[in-house]
Chain A
């Protein structure tokens, strides 16, 4: 189908984008990579949107070190994250995740900010940034605001970004020297949304586990993390399975997803420990 769009405007800088958003009377949609938004528009899942194209805003692009944190601009594309040496060094989980996201041509356009604002629980980046304990930076009419990843995701496609705010960047603690970060998922075909996935991070403060495709939003699997901190792998798997209430759909039932997540956690732990998964 052909998109039914109300209007389009190319924002020249962040202030301009915020002004456009403020002027859009609730119909404004921020257009970043567009790899989910334009697909939805083409399917006429919504119509009459006023698109605010932020792709020209250089301030939203790129990866940098900001003190002891890694900062990734909202407009940084998946392909750039895949090839960025700072990401590889300080947030290897994100680099690994890019191998699993969609396909090359999509990764050339899709942005991390767009993926997070879209908040698809089947996507990799939302789970990753929660596992990494990132902070999401947004800018609104009243200035900037920082949102911990743990407070960011609300429901399927819903975040705590307010009307009138734009996601500008994320920042992450740099991986510790001994830190390990792994992601394991199972998709029917390469690049498909996973039937389920597990992000597992081990840092000095303890383990962090976040699953993909098992609920309306990514969540820390705290019970399983506690078992894992105690060195109880089987207990962690059992706790993870117990805590989940995954959805059923045409690809798999809840029961299968619950089982799969346990298998993936086992494998992630083995991977973390340098064993053959």
Chain B
């Protein structure tokens, strides 16, 4: 049940206000502390020799000349590391049938993708380690490679992991209602083939880890750019044979993550293993070029979709056949099957319809492993769904807004269950669409489009509704056996001067986690946000928890903080009641002072209460509790996931001679439940949208048939830059979840989920009068021109 945060005149009303981020001032002064900024005594650097082959037997390794390089200290092979580090298997029990072979930190006798780490070279400087790595000679026997997704299961294709029998990692079919009958009886059926480009995250800070092992204490410390310190602690402990209590993971400033930094990477685990062997600090900072072949990839899907509609535009059925290839291993411990699984869960998500069939087929290939990247599966599902809906509308001669109004779940339909069996507590599709149409002045924009057309300027408007999965309960990973916490905790303490320290298990990667927590704790205790110091990112000094991913920081970590802050408030007021000789229920804490609840009269500053408790406890009644530190945890339990919703719109201009697309403007109305800091939410949405715009226009990893990555640099893999990005208008509808006091759901995926689909629909709106259509992302100038039929050869 929610607390009443709606009244802006309530005391200590920080939830819902824009307050500055406490860590921003430090970052603009260049006083951040990222892993590569750290230097420890006796620190050494590790560089990895990586497989140049997509698939090859490792016959021998000769490191003699490498060891002669000045500064090179040690060279490690897969066998060396395997002596101290056990392999892992990226499967989850609830993803039935998912299989993947054991994966080692360094390849032991076979390399399975270009970039897989094979040998580690340790030296006193990064440059010396690179000099050494260049001289390591690995004798490879190349093996037949599997690179094409759509032929991976054909009999003639070699089997990548022969023990497994075939190249199928995972398959799931969901069938609800009578899909075939719905299609047979439909007025209009649309079929289309969509492709989403293979992406990678391109965090500006490359993957980074610095690990020290102190055999004297039996203590491992890892400074790690990660989203999930406790998960890393579990993995290091388990695979290096250490008690969890003897592994400390510290996560300082992180230069962007977006899901990239929530996975187990072989080179990072190898770094920890080397630290354990060498008993000194070992630093690994991924080079930008190796980032492209080793950071997880994502979104490489081909989807055949069909939609059946009635004459008046009611959706009868969706039929989705999704294919994805995930590289050579399912990534540990979250697996690489979640993305395809999400496509099955999320297609058709905003719409109230009855018949749904979706299948995902997940295959192995000799490429960099894929896994969860921001808005996992959402952009694919939204692209397919919204693309089909727009095509159906066009076939019926219906406006894209109108067909959505006729099919979106009604705002009073909740609780509801989708044909994919997703449970919705409360969404606001219609309110959001209405707000969007007003915000963009849809009619005026259509008029502008027509006016432009009269001048020979081709423009298009695209709309995409979406749902977003947030706040995962243990049903996402824990149920499948993964030691990934769905719970988060917060410890809130009052220091003698009345200032507050709150340690939380959710982490900060720039989203504003610490600002959000400071607002919640300030309101929950009754102090100013500036009086709250937030501690995150250290397994030794924060409660146990999951970290920051799947838009769970505010919804789960924030709720734990609220509960802990309120508990501290109660503890403070209990002491205050005894000191002031009145019932504690007649007192309140406001702006850092104890006051009368009724009229706000000042009774005592918190510093006085702190002085008495900590230094003159003898003056308090014996037996009076004086626990000015309180810890609370929170795990979502009522629903497997929270769902949010929203709708985006894009206005584009297409140069029909060159195929170039210009983004004119973008809109998003989004419902993330309780908004804690409006500015931070808006900027999450904007940043997310631009990652989606990258998908729409720019981002795609290209491989050749031999499994060689062709555009693995920032000059060749095009990320969105300032020059091409539009201004974005953001607005909100607020439907708090009733499951928690706070009511927050999460906002991290929404922008990315819907942006690419909105752009696709806008381009197709522009191309439709010319008989053109595009369905393969990114929409490069060439693809747009081919979509127009202007390029034949």
A residues sitting closer than 8 Å to B (CB atoms) are 1-2, 4, 43-44, 47, 186, 188-192, 195, 249-253, 255-256, 259-260, 263
Contact = CB atoms under 8 A, between A and B. Distances in A.
A99 to B, nearest CB: 12
Contacts of B702: 250
Given A2-B126, A188-B698, A263 B658 contact: yes
Interface string B692-719: 0000011010100000001101001010
Given A1-B289, A186-B660, A189-B718, A253 B782 contact: yes
Contact of A189 (B657, B710, B721, B792): B721
Contacts of B791: 255-256, 259
A4 B131 contact: yes
A189 B781 contact: no
Interface in B248-270: none
A191 B719 CA distance: 13
Nearest to A257: B782
Interface in B124-175: 126-127, 130-131, 134
Interface in B92-147: 126-127, 130-131, 134
Given A4-B127, A43-B289, A252-B780, A189 B698 contact: yes
B790 A259 contact: yes
A44 B127 CA distance: 11
B126 A252 contact: no
Given A2-B126, A186-B660, A250-B716, 16 more contacts: A1-B289, A4-B134, A47-B134, A188-B718, A189-B698, A189-B718, A189-B724, A190-B724, A192-B718, A195-B781, A250-B700, A250-B702, A251-B780, A255-B792, A256-B782, A259-B790
24 contacts: A1-B130, A2-B130, A4-B127, A4-B130, A43-B289, A43-B713, A44-B134, A186-B781, A188-B697, A188-B698, A188-B781, A189-B698, A190-B721, A249-B710, A250-B700, A250-B710, A250-B711, A252-B780, A252-B782, A255-B793, A256-B781, A259-B785, A260-B658, A260-B781
Interface in B659-711: 659-660, 697-698, 700, 702, 710-711
Interface residues of B, number: 31
Nearest to B657: A263
B721, B723, B781, B791 pick with most chain A CB within 10 angstroms? B781
B64 interface: no
B287 interface: yes
Contacts, number: 61
Chain A to chain B: the 8 pairs with minimum beta-carbon distance, closest first:
A190-B723, A2-B127, A256-B782, A250-B702, A250-B711, A263-B657, A255-B793, A252-B782
A47 B134 CA distance: 11
Nearest to A256: B782
Contacts of B698: 188-189
Contacts of B790: 259
Contacts of A1: 130, 287, 289
A250 B718 CA distance: 11
A191 B723 contact: yes
Contacts of A188: 697-698, 718, 780-781
Interface string B749-793: 000000000000000000000000000000011100100001111
A252 B126 CA distance: 36
B791 to A, nearest CB: 6
A250 B702 CA distance: 7
B115 to A, nearest CB: 14
Contacts of B716: 250
Contacts of A47: 134
A255 B781 CA distance: 12
Contacts of A2: 126-127, 130
Nearest to B724: A189
A256 B657 CA distance: 11
A72 B136 CA distance: 47
